[in-house]
Amino acid sequence: MNILLVEDDSVLRDGLINILNTSGYHVTATESGAYALRLLDAEDFDLIVLDLGLPDMDGLDVLRRLRKDKIALPVLILTARDTVNDRIEGINQGADDYLTKPFDLGELEARIHALIRRCYAGFNQIIKVGQLQLDTQNHQIFTQDKTLTLSIRENALLEILMLQTGKVVCKERISQRLAVDGDALADNAIEVVIHRLRKRIQPYQANIRTVRGLGYLLEETEHGV
């Protein structure tokens, strides 16, 4: 999951980057609303954490602009403004959730998890692909009633593919998600994990398709192999 964090308080920003990285999210951070809009044009994000009081523009204007063409992208607003009117204005402009400063970092993390679950799993806690089932709450993958025993990397990889079933997940995102101590995984190492995982899931009517030059895509197959 790729998060865009737009926050000009450097202490808060660094704290958020830290806690979100630890949870396995990749974070791109900026303090500028204008730069955030440029990033949104250039890159794919899964969620935005947006401060309203930015040095160069009002966060609500960022929200208005991005809602014009990114209708479905979940947005969590951070603000020191805590009046009911501001909250209503944020929701009206298309924010999905709203957190008033000061807040607990753990609370923010929980809200982000919940928002991602809500937006990408169609409110379902369990995502099914073929005979595979991902429990998005505890990150476990099952087949029928049994837990599928995978390495930590294989499990993390299958989770991001299942969360984006039918969509191409790019190599960069996989590399960041499977990074060890902040070191992104090399292409050939990714291919090794993909190859192993593909074999493991084939009996369960699921396949990882390589989309040349773009990345990988998880799809259901008619029959287990």
Which letter, b or e, does each residue of 50-86 get, where b requires 16 or more Cβ atoms within 10 Å of its Cβ? bbbebeeeebbbbbebbeeebeebbbbbbbebeeeeb
Q: Is 86 in the site for Ca ion (CB under 5 A)?
A: no
Among 2, 15, 31, 53, binds Ca ion (CB under 5 A): 53
User: Which range, of 16-24, 48-56, 125-133, 148-156, touches Ca ion by CB under 5 A?
Assistant: 48-56
Identity of the amino acid at 200: R
- Owner of token pair 């369960």: 204
Q: Is 220 in the site for Ca ion (CB under 5 A)?
A: no
> Is residue 15 at the binding interface for Ca ion, with CB under 5 A as the rule?
no
- What's the min distance (Å) between Cβ of 8 and Ca ion? 5
- The whole-angstrom separation of Cα 119 and Cα 76 is 12
- Dist. CA 122–CA 107, nearest whole Å: 22
Q: Is 8 in the site for Ca ion (CB under 5 A)?
A: yes
Cβ closest to Ca ion, residue 51 vs residue 97: 51
Beta-carbon neighbour count of residue 222 at 10 Å? 6
Task: Among 3, 45, 46, 51, indicate the residue that binds Ca ion (CB under 5 A).
Answer: 51
Residue of minimal Cβ distance to Ca ion: 53
Residues that bind Ca ion (CB under 5 A): 8, 51, 53
